[in-house]
Structure 1
Amino acid sequence: MATTTYQPSPQAGDHAADVKAEETSGVLERILADPGLSLRERLWSGTQCELRLLFSLAVPAVIVYMINYVMSMSTQMFAGHLGNRELAAASLGNTGIQIFAYGLMLGMGSAVETLCGQAFGAGRYDMLGVYLQRAAVLLTLTGLLLTLIYVFSYPILIFLGEPREIASMAAVFVYGLIPQIFAYAINFPIQKYMQAQSIVAPSAYISAAALVVHLAMSWAVIFKLGLGLLGSSLVLSISWWIIVVGQFVYIVKSERCRRTWRGFSVQAFTGLVGFFKLSAASAVMLCLESWYFQMLVLLAGLLDNPELALASLSICMTINGWVFMISVGLNAAVSVRVSNELGAGNPKSAAFSVTIVTIISFIISIVAAILVLVSRDVLSYAFTGGERVAAAVSDLCPLLALTLLLNGIQPVLSGVAVGCGWQATVAYINVGCYYIVGIPLGSLLGFHFNLGAKGIWGGMIGGTVMQTLILMWITFRTDWNKEVEEARRRLNKWQDQGPTEPLLK
């Protein structure tokens, strides 16, 4: 089995759960490299071992992402029961403005995922807490700039050509999401820090408790206090802060984090320029992905019947988001698995994990696509009672099913990219596939050929297909032994003051 020259910090304590995970990882590498086993035996034993590791990460991660998404979705559902116009406004504010901040913050937090994952696999435990704090400082500063976009959301939406009445209502909704920006700034670094150590279940419990509080507060604010769109978005912001506080308390109090959390450090304020370079590459990669479908909603707002188009697309995007959260959970799991294995010097385990998680994710997406097609005529009634919206949603369901199939592969491959540190490379791919091919093609079909929302979405699916095929080709051709050496080089180059050269390819 390949080994690493890194040793745990002499101050680091031992924790049974962490040691068990590390030993299990070593077992997988030995199984896959054992010449005494036949190929069939290696595959069968390796699959059993990997599935145990994968599902211990993926199931809690899926629960966390699903619960977080349910909070946002339930906010839109409450708004939808106020009326179709309120649903369209909440959709435009949430998907047209809020997703901008979400994509940027999540993308910048992805640098923490790469570095923490590889450092943990290599036994460099003392640096994980520093990475967490540096990212939190950097994302908070970014949040201050993003606040300006929220404050001026109404003129921005008008400039983009959205109807004035819907834009005005969407701006009110967005104002209540300003505190959520800074919850993102703390939550995403914490989330990646914990995931790198395979600590996922506590976040699921905390998120579940926050969801219960969120639903109760939303019901009271909408139906009892009558605070409308602003009240619903403020409740969403408060719920995110409940999650942040709960996770931070866990980090400070838990024995599982004592190797990696040494308290607040002044090092958090050093090396920010170098850390920003890492975060920027990660942000560009993930922002280009999250903004891609944001453009779908913004373009739909320019159609002849924007209220109907926005309402139907909002429902389809929400359903897509449900299933996408499963893929995002698997994305997080494979990112942790790949980064940990590369940091530990286990190339065969890293490659095998990629194969297993891709197969599992694709099977789930096939089942989800079939369910969408079977129930296409009744899906919209969970959000609104309008028959016109129900018909529009039913008409879009074939495209939704195709999108779900693509989501069974693409997010997993993006997780592999994060685990390996390929963010900058994938960013270039995303620019070409999404913004040079997908959006122009969707605009051509939607406006020039008068295909409406179906044309816009169909053209943009073409860009996603191209991106997925390219990522599959890159992953298939990867030399995993070389990636182990790249991970070792990154960790050797990283000093307390920051990297001396770019660490992400």
Structure 2
Amino acid sequence: MDYTGNSEESQQLILEHGHRDRADSRQASVEGERDNQVINGFTLSLAEGAEELVSLAKVTCPFLMTSMLMYSRSMTSLYFLGRLGKVELAGGALALAFANVTGFSIIKGLSVGMDPICSQAFGAKRWAVIGQTYLKTVCLLLLASIPISCLWLNAEPLFLVLGQDSEIIRVANVYLACLIPELIAQAHLHPLRCFLRCQGKTTPFTIASTCCVVLHLPINYLLAVHLNLGVKGVALAFACSTLNLNAALILYLILSDSPLKPWDKTTFQSIFRGWKPLLDLAIPTVVGVCLEWWWYELMLFLSGLLDNPQSSIAATGILIQTTGLLYNVPYSLSAGLTARVGNALGAGQPSRAQWATIIGILLAFVFGLVAFIFTIMVRSVWGRLFTGESQILDLISTALPLLGLCELGNAPQTAACGVLTGIARPTIGARINLFAFYLVGAPVAVVLTFTFKFGFSGLWLGLASAQGSCVCMMLYFLFKTDWTQQVKKAKELTIAAGHEDDDLEASFIVSDDHSHTT
């Protein structure tokens, strides 16, 4: 399906509103006051809401397609691990959990710090800030990859302390070592993806990811089966796929006639300026992301303390991959909300930012209900897609409806996180995640699982309590948000991230009127 036209229309819509608001500062001020009055009265234009729904869909739908394609790589890898054997499946699941806890969550969290800066800078037409922030984020993630890689190469003592099975540890160590190239490739992919998304350019990533996913299955077969690399081959296939995606997107940027490129007209000296806004956002963001991700991996480690740890770990790994599959929908909606809310605030349109928030949260609630129904319907057959082990299948069948219950809170909570990112308030999200997952969810899970003998199901009931408390607190904060004040803060952020006298912006502004293509 071709989304090129949709992305162009979405981007043109943003640009038209941006030109209108910047053309006359006095008129923008009057409109801002009117927006504030309307918001306080809880009556917003339905036409504006419908327009925002269309714009949000144009950003979210291609991103959702891309996310599903990218996530299918994990499902493919899980399939090959399952066919290699129960120990290989458990070891691979443990390694992926450890990699998520200590590596991928950190890389992703740090990269999200550039989202509010780039989306608000695009709305405010501060083009040079976008390229500078991209380069700074790549440098930051590559530096973070060094200690992470060292940890992965020396993970065995930590696994032993956690009381994991020796055979599982052996497989996990091999898998982790071969995941390091994937870590480095993602350190560039995440900032590049944000650079394109903040401009509404989702089509190139969708096309490139489609090609890479098509190649991922034969690459897995070639490395894991044909070359008999086993677990090593499954891990290396990840890296091959991500490197191919990086290369395809760089080729697109080189050949594209778009005036906004990450390296064009960005000076070497600019990389060393304006780090504070990025770090101020990246650090609390990575804390918030890690707190949530680490909870899922905590479940995996706790499952290793239950009876029959191999089956429990394997079942938890499959269920985590399943919730990750469902997560792609609210995550894509969250990314779309970050871009739309950030663009609107940067362009000085508070009511449009609030409309995007309301529509996004409602859509997330609807999806949560759909996901709950889906997990109930497939509870008896879903596990057979990954394994034929009867003990693992029984555990999956029991816990899958509880996973769906968690999605009732997870979907709107994820969408709300996207809004918090768009308004550059990641510290709020980090505090809420800390309270919900570790002061509510973790105690509930431990008590139900080990004290009241709920076993495997107790872990997922603990997650449900965490998600429920998390979404309630986030929605309360958004309800109390002063959107007109957020417009002022957006202007301050984009100025702090760049330089008001930066002459790079002038050249981009001139070229912007002539060409903006997807």
TM score, norm. by length of structure 2: 0.87
Out of 209, 212, 215, which is 1:213 matched to? Answer: 215
User: 1:63 offset after TM fit, Å?
Assistant: 1.5
Identical aligned residues as a percent: 26
1:23 aligns with 2:16: yes
Contact kept in structure 1, 2:416 and 2:474, CA below 8 Å: yes
1:145 aligns with 2:143: no
Q: Deviations over 1:246-297 (max 9, x none)?
A: 1222223322353765156313540375233432122111111111211111
Structure 1 residues 284, 34: CA separation in 2 closer, same or farther (over 3 Å shift)? closer
User: 1:232 offset after TM fit, Å?
Assistant: 0.7
Q: Which residue of 2 aligns with 1:402?
A: 405
Contact kept in structure 2, 1:126 and 1:262, CA below 8 Å: no
Once residues 44 and 428 of structure 2 are traced to their aligned partners in structure 1, the CA distance between those partners, rounded to angstroms, is 33
Q: Which residue of 2 aligns with 1:307?
A: 310
Q: Which residue of 2 aligns with 1:294?
A: 297
Q: Which residue of 2 aligns with 1:415?
A: 418
Once residues 166 and 66 of structure 2 are traced to their aligned partners in structure 1, the CA distance between those partners, rounded to angstroms, is 36
Contact kept in structure 2, 1:323 and 1:365, CA below 8 Å: no
User: 1:24 offset after TM fit, Å?
Assistant: 5.9
1:402 partner letter: L
Once residues 161 and 197 of structure 2 are traced to their aligned partners in structure 1, the CA distance between those partners, rounded to angstroms, is 40
Out of 167, 170, 184, which is 1:168 matched to? Answer: 170
Q: Deviations over 1:135-184 (max 9, x none)?
A: 00111000011101210122221222211111111111111100111111
Contact kept in structure 2, 1:195 and 1:336, CA below 8 Å: yes
Out of 105, 108, 113, which is 1:106 matched to? Answer: 108
Once residues 306 and 373 of structure 2 are traced to their aligned partners in structure 1, the CA distance between those partners, rounded to angstroms, is 29
SS in 1 for 2:305: coil
Q: Which residue of 2 aligns with 1:279?
A: 282
User: 1:16 offset after TM fit, Å?
Assistant: 8.4
1:212 partner letter: V
Contact kept in structure 1, 2:274 and 2:498, CA below 8 Å: no
Structure 1 residues 217, 494: CA separation in 2 closer, same or farther (over 3 Å shift)? closer
2:301 partner letter: L
Q: Deviations over 1:460-504 (max 9, x none)?
A: 32122111110010011111011111111222333459xxxxxxx
2:370 partner letter: V
Q: Which residue of 2 aligns with 1:156?
A: 158
SS in 1 for 2:447: helix
Structure 1 residues 163, 94: CA separation in 2 closer, same or farther (over 3 Å shift)? same
Contact kept in structure 1, 2:88 and 2:171, CA below 8 Å: yes
TM score, norm. by length of structure 1: 0.89
Q: Which residue of 2 aligns with 1:501?
A: none
Once residues 363 and 11 of structure 2 are traced to their aligned partners in structure 1, the CA distance between those partners, rounded to angstroms, is 25
User: 1:364 offset after TM fit, Å?
Assistant: 2.1
Once residues 97 and 259 of structure 2 are traced to their aligned partners in structure 1, the CA distance between those partners, rounded to angstroms, is 35
Superposition CA RMSD, Å: 2.6
Q: Deviations over 1:335-389 (max 9, x none)?
A: 0000110111100000000111111222122122212101211110100112222
Structure 1 residues 259, 103: CA separation in 2 closer, same or farther (over 3 Å shift)? closer
Aligned pairs for 1:28-177 (under 5 A) are 43-177=45-179
Contact kept in structure 2, 1:50 and 1:353, CA below 8 Å: yes
Q: Which residue of 1 aligns with 2:370?
A: 367
User: 1:40 offset after TM fit, Å?
Assistant: 12
Contact kept in structure 2, 1:64 and 1:204, CA below 8 Å: yes
Q: Which residue of 2 aligns with 1:8?
A: none
Number of aligned residue pairs: 481
Once residues 160 and 416 of structure 1 are traced to their aligned partners in structure 2, the CA distance between those partners, rounded to angstroms, is 37
Once residues 274 and 351 of structure 2 are traced to their aligned partners in structure 1, the CA distance between those partners, rounded to angstroms, is 34
Q: Deviations over 1:60-108 (max 9, x none)?
A: 1112221221112211111011122211111111123245311111110
Once residues 402 and 309 of structure 1 are traced to their aligned partners in structure 2, the CA distance between those partners, rounded to angstroms, is 20
2:181 partner letter: P
Q: Deviations over 1:121-144 (max 9, x none)?
A: 001011111100010011100001
